[in-house]
Protein backbone atom coordinates (compact mmCIF):
# COMPACT_ATOMS: atom_id res chain seq x y z
CA UNK A 1 0.00 0.00 0.00
CA UNK A 2 1.98 2.99 -1.36
CA UNK A 3 -0.41 5.88 -0.73
CA UNK A 4 0.11 7.63 2.59
CA UNK A 5 -2.98 7.65 4.76
CA UNK A 6 -3.24 9.19 8.20
CA UNK A 7 -5.04 6.67 10.35
CA UNK A 8 -7.02 7.69 13.42
CA UNK A 9 -6.03 5.69 16.50
CA UNK A 10 -8.11 5.92 19.69
CA UNK A 11 -6.22 6.53 22.95
CA UNK A 12 -8.04 7.21 26.24
CA UNK A 13 -10.57 9.92 25.37
CA UNK A 14 -8.80 11.18 22.27
CA UNK A 15 -7.39 10.28 18.88
CA UNK A 16 -3.81 10.14 17.60
CA UNK A 17 -3.08 10.18 13.90
CA UNK A 18 -0.54 7.75 12.45
CA UNK A 19 1.02 7.48 8.99
CA UNK A 20 0.49 4.05 7.44
CA UNK A 21 3.81 4.38 5.56
CA UNK A 22 6.27 5.67 8.17
CA UNK A 23 4.24 4.52 11.23
CA UNK A 24 5.13 7.93 12.74
CA UNK A 25 2.52 9.31 15.14
CA UNK A 26 1.39 12.85 15.83
CA UNK A 27 3.24 14.34 18.82
CA UNK A 28 0.72 17.18 18.90
CA UNK A 29 -2.18 14.76 19.30
CA UNK A 30 -0.40 12.92 22.13
CA UNK A 31 0.38 16.16 23.96
CA UNK A 32 -3.26 17.23 23.73
CA UNK A 33 -4.44 13.92 25.21
CA UNK A 34 -1.62 13.79 27.76
CA UNK A 35 -2.14 17.31 29.06
CA UNK A 36 -5.89 16.78 29.39
CA UNK A 37 -5.01 13.71 31.46
CA UNK A 38 -2.58 15.70 33.62
CA UNK A 39 -5.05 18.55 34.19
CA UNK A 40 -7.75 16.05 35.20
CA UNK A 41 -5.30 14.59 37.74
CA UNK A 42 -4.23 18.00 39.17
CA UNK A 43 -0.79 17.99 37.53
CA UNK A 44 1.05 20.76 35.70
CA UNK A 45 1.06 20.91 31.91
CA UNK A 46 3.76 18.72 30.37
CA UNK A 47 6.53 20.83 28.82
CA UNK A 48 7.66 19.26 25.54
CA UNK A 49 10.63 21.61 25.10
CA UNK A 50 12.00 20.77 28.55
CA UNK A 51 11.69 17.07 27.75
CA UNK A 52 13.29 17.46 24.32
CA UNK A 53 16.24 19.58 25.51
CA UNK A 54 17.17 17.40 28.50
CA UNK A 55 20.47 15.53 28.24
CA UNK A 56 18.79 12.14 28.78
CA UNK A 57 16.35 12.77 25.91
CA UNK A 58 19.14 13.89 23.59
CA UNK A 59 21.13 10.73 24.38
CA UNK A 60 18.05 8.63 23.74
CA UNK A 61 17.31 10.37 20.42
CA UNK A 62 20.94 10.04 19.30
CA UNK A 63 20.79 6.28 19.89
CA UNK A 64 17.48 5.97 18.04
CA UNK A 65 18.83 7.97 15.09
CA UNK A 66 21.82 5.65 14.83
CA UNK A 67 19.44 2.73 14.32
CA UNK A 68 16.40 4.20 12.57
CA UNK A 69 17.51 7.50 11.04
CA UNK A 70 15.36 10.59 11.63
CA UNK A 71 12.88 9.88 14.43
CA UNK A 72 11.18 13.29 14.83
CA UNK A 73 9.89 15.31 11.90
CA UNK A 74 8.50 18.82 12.21
CA UNK A 75 6.28 20.57 9.69
CA UNK A 76 6.75 24.28 9.16
CA UNK A 77 3.95 26.77 9.48
CA UNK A 78 1.60 28.05 12.16
CA UNK A 79 0.68 24.61 13.44
CA UNK A 80 4.30 23.52 13.89
CA UNK A 81 3.09 19.94 13.83
CA UNK A 82 5.52 17.20 14.91
CA UNK A 83 5.54 13.51 13.99
CA UNK A 84 7.64 10.90 15.77
CA UNK A 85 8.75 7.27 15.74
CA UNK A 86 6.63 5.02 18.05
CA UNK A 87 9.59 4.63 20.47
CA UNK A 88 9.74 8.41 20.86
CA UNK A 89 5.99 8.53 21.46
CA UNK A 90 6.33 5.92 24.21
CA UNK A 91 9.11 7.93 25.87
CA UNK A 92 7.01 11.10 25.80
CA UNK A 93 4.07 9.17 27.26
CA UNK A 94 6.29 7.87 30.06
CA UNK A 95 7.33 11.41 30.90
CA UNK A 96 3.76 12.68 30.81
CA UNK A 97 2.77 10.02 33.33
CA UNK A 98 4.00 6.42 33.91
CA UNK A 99 0.40 5.14 33.89
CA UNK A 100 -0.01 6.49 30.38
CA UNK A 101 2.95 4.41 29.18
CA UNK A 102 1.05 1.18 29.89
CA UNK A 103 -1.87 2.42 27.78
CA UNK A 104 0.59 3.30 25.00
CA UNK A 105 2.08 -0.19 24.90
CA UNK A 106 -1.35 -1.83 24.66
CA UNK A 107 -2.42 0.71 22.06
CA UNK A 108 0.64 0.35 19.81
CA UNK A 109 0.48 -3.43 19.73
CA UNK A 110 -3.15 -3.86 18.72
CA UNK A 111 -1.90 -4.54 15.14
CA UNK A 112 -4.51 -2.21 13.70
CA UNK A 113 -1.94 -0.77 11.30
CA UNK A 114 -0.94 -4.27 10.14
CA UNK A 115 -4.52 -5.16 9.26
CA UNK A 116 -5.06 -1.90 7.38
CA UNK A 117 -2.04 -2.59 5.18
CA UNK A 118 -3.00 -6.24 4.68
CA UNK A 119 -6.51 -5.23 3.60
CA UNK A 120 -5.09 -2.72 1.13
CA UNK A 121 -2.97 -5.44 -0.49
CA UNK A 122 -5.83 -7.95 -0.61
CA UNK A 123 -8.02 -5.33 -2.33
CA UNK A 124 -5.52 -5.10 -5.18
CA UNK A 125 -5.50 -8.91 -5.56
CA UNK A 126 -9.30 -9.01 -5.60
CA UNK A 127 -9.49 -6.24 -8.21
CA UNK A 128 -6.95 -8.06 -10.39
CA UNK A 129 -8.90 -11.32 -10.21
CA UNK A 130 -12.22 -9.62 -10.99
CA UNK A 131 -10.68 -7.72 -13.91
CA UNK A 132 -9.28 -10.90 -15.43
CA UNK A 133 -12.70 -12.52 -15.07
CA UNK A 134 -14.60 -9.55 -16.49
CA UNK A 135 -16.03 -10.10 -19.99
CA UNK A 136 -16.60 -6.38 -20.67
CA UNK A 137 -13.54 -4.59 -19.28
CA UNK A 138 -14.73 -1.17 -20.48
CA UNK A 139 -17.35 -1.06 -17.70
CA UNK A 140 -15.16 -2.70 -15.03
CA UNK A 141 -14.71 0.57 -13.08
CA UNK A 142 -18.46 0.81 -12.47
CA UNK A 143 -18.66 -2.73 -11.15
CA UNK A 144 -15.70 -2.40 -8.80
CA UNK A 145 -17.18 0.75 -7.25
CA UNK A 146 -20.42 -1.13 -6.56
CA UNK A 147 -18.43 -4.07 -5.14
CA UNK A 148 -16.53 -1.78 -2.78
CA UNK A 149 -19.85 -0.41 -1.46
CA UNK A 150 -21.21 -3.94 -0.96
CA UNK A 151 -18.12 -4.90 1.06
CA UNK A 152 -18.35 -1.72 3.13
CA UNK A 153 -22.00 -2.48 3.93
CA UNK A 154 -21.19 -6.10 4.79
CA UNK A 155 -18.52 -4.91 7.23
CA UNK A 156 -20.90 -2.24 8.63
CA UNK A 157 -18.37 0.53 8.05
CA UNK A 158 -19.04 4.13 7.02
CA UNK A 159 -15.38 5.28 7.00
CA UNK A 160 -12.50 2.81 6.58
CA UNK A 161 -10.09 5.16 8.40
CA UNK A 162 -12.16 4.62 11.55
CA UNK A 163 -12.68 0.87 11.12
CA UNK A 164 -11.93 -1.54 13.95
CA UNK A 165 -9.42 -4.38 13.74
CA UNK A 166 -12.27 -6.92 13.39
CA UNK A 167 -13.87 -4.98 10.55
CA UNK A 168 -10.54 -4.83 8.72
CA UNK A 169 -10.00 -8.57 9.21
CA UNK A 170 -13.46 -9.22 7.74
CA UNK A 171 -12.72 -6.97 4.75
CA UNK A 172 -9.47 -8.83 4.14
CA UNK A 173 -11.30 -12.17 4.31
CA UNK A 174 -13.94 -10.99 1.81
CA UNK A 175 -11.26 -9.77 -0.60
CA UNK A 176 -9.45 -13.10 -0.34
CA UNK A 177 -12.65 -15.12 -0.86
CA UNK A 178 -13.67 -13.18 -3.95
CA UNK A 179 -10.21 -13.45 -5.52
CA UNK A 180 -10.20 -17.21 -4.88
CA UNK A 181 -13.71 -17.72 -6.23
CA UNK A 182 -12.82 -15.89 -9.45
CA UNK A 183 -10.58 -18.85 -10.30
CA UNK A 184 -13.58 -21.19 -10.06
CA UNK A 185 -16.59 -19.12 -11.15
CA UNK A 186 -16.91 -17.22 -14.42
CA UNK A 187 -19.65 -14.98 -13.06
CA UNK A 188 -18.17 -12.08 -11.05
CA UNK A 189 -21.49 -11.24 -9.40
CA UNK A 190 -21.75 -14.78 -8.10
CA UNK A 191 -18.14 -14.73 -6.87
CA UNK A 192 -18.76 -11.46 -5.00
CA UNK A 193 -22.04 -12.63 -3.44
CA UNK A 194 -20.66 -15.98 -2.29
CA UNK A 195 -17.39 -14.41 -1.13
CA UNK A 196 -19.22 -11.99 1.16
CA UNK A 197 -21.65 -14.59 2.53
CA UNK A 198 -18.84 -17.08 3.20
CA UNK A 199 -16.80 -14.47 5.12
CA UNK A 200 -19.80 -13.40 7.21
CA UNK A 201 -20.70 -16.97 8.12
CA UNK A 202 -17.19 -18.10 9.14
Q: With respect to residue 1, please indicate whether it lies within any of the assigned structural domains.
A: no
pTM over 0.75: no
* Res. 111: pLDDT tops 60: no
Q: In this structure, are 92 and 141 located in the same domain? A: no
The predicted structure's pLDDT at residue 175: 92
- Tell me if 20 is assigned to some domain: yes
Residue 166: which pLDDT band, with cuts at 50, 70 and 90?
confident
36 within some domain: yes
**Ramachandran area for residue 42 (φ above 0: left; ψ -120 to 50: alpha; else beta):** left
- 121 and 170 in a common domain: yes
What are the φ/ψ torsions at residue 129 (nearest 5 degrees)?
Answer: -65, -45
Contact 36, 14 (CB under 8 A): yes
* Cα radius of gyration (the chain): 21
Segments forming the whole domain that contains residue 37: 6-108
For the segment 1-33, what is each residue's pLDDT rounded down to a tens digit? 467 778 787 777 788 888 878 889 999 999 999
- SS3 state at 31: helix
Distances (CA, A) of 1 to 22, 112, 151: 12, 15, 19
- Residues 32 and 108: their CA atoms lie apart, in Å, by 18
Residues 95, 146 within the same domain = no
Q: What is the pLDDT of residue 2?
A: 60
pLDDT value at residue 77 = 58
Amino acid sequence: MKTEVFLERKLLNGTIRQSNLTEFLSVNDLLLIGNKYRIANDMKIFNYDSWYNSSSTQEFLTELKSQFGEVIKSKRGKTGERWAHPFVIIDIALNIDPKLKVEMYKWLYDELLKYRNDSGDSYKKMCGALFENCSNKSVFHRGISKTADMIKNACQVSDWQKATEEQLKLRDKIHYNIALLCDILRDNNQAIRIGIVKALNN
